[in-house]
Amino acid sequence: MDGWLLTQGHVTLYPGHGQAFSREDLLQMLPTADAVLACGTMDAEMIKRARQLKLIVCYGAGYDAIDIAQATKQRIPVVNIPETVVAPTAELAVTLMMNLARRVPYLNNVMHTEQAVEAFGLGKQMGVSLYGSVLGIVGMGRIGSRVAQIGRALGMQIIYHARQPKPEQEAMGAEYRALPALMTQADFVSLHCPLTPETTGLITRELLFAMKPTAFLINTARGLVVDEAALLEALQQKRIAGAGLDVFVGEPRINPLFSSLPNVILTPHVGSNTLQARREMVREASLRIQEVVLEGRKPVHLLNPEAWIGGEPAQA
């Protein structure tokens, strides 16, 4: 993105490779910024400092870290780039399922030790198959739909829960379930709902303890969607077979109890972290900046359309 903007005669400010601007850095830079690529928090104080801001681009799909209400109050359009994260995040969810089902991390560790020979033998190290299993998807949006597509290709039965039934999914064999029913019936529960006031704490202790003892929970959505204390309890007591977690409450710090559990696979919020996806994210973010800041056009994926006044973004 930097190279493209430079060729247009514009100035870009970005941290060094593998680094991030501090909050203090951002508060100093925001007053003169025309556009912001938000890779982290954009709270009300930060947005208030951005007196000439014309656009906030969320670097991905989830926008819970951006104070959209404050941006709207200042008539600053906020957009996300949701298509860019669909394929890699869905792939990670299925990867976690496969690794849990076949105990890959544990077996890999065994095979790297002197006890590797003891791992061989019929009936040892038994896993479970995805083929014929019931995949329960919570949130049948872009990512959930891609996970369903992959699940069908693997021979899984798809059930789902969403705010509204999805006729296009049901035409392909998916079946709608109320959330309590889905949690009791699924062999794998994969979470793909955005973090909103309605979905915060959506997966409660009651729902977790209603799962099959042979079932697995996959979370590549947001940590706060799940009652994390209840999940730890369910895992410790083996009320469920295991979990694959890419997101956590309070990340990057996570509850150390998770890392002590052998029935949990942990990844550090890398759902969209592939080379191809990052390149596409940069391209899409650049296009949004071009549309709004340089050409004054209404962008796609506008999260606060009420901030768009008379065909042009305008500060209050």
CA atoms within 13 A of residue 112's CA, in its CB half-sphere? 6
What's the rounded Cα separation, in Å, for the pair 206 and 238? 15
Burial class (CB in 10 A: 0-12, 13-18, 19+), 18: exposed
Give rounded-to-5 percent helix, strand, coil for the chain: 40, 15, 45
Catalytic position from the list 251, 297, 306, 312:
251
Q: What is the C-alpha separation between 181 and 5, in angstroms, rounded?
A: 51
Query: 84: closest CA among 105, 124, 57?
Result: 57
What gap in Å lies between CA 144 and CA 188, rounded to an integer? 13
Of 49, 102, 269, 301, catalytic: 269
Active site residue 222: yes
For residue 226, give both structure tokens: 């799940």
Pairing assessment for the beta strands 55-58 and 78-79 based on DSSP bridges = parallel
* Active-site option among 75, 222, 239, 288: 222
Catalytic residues: 222, 251, 269
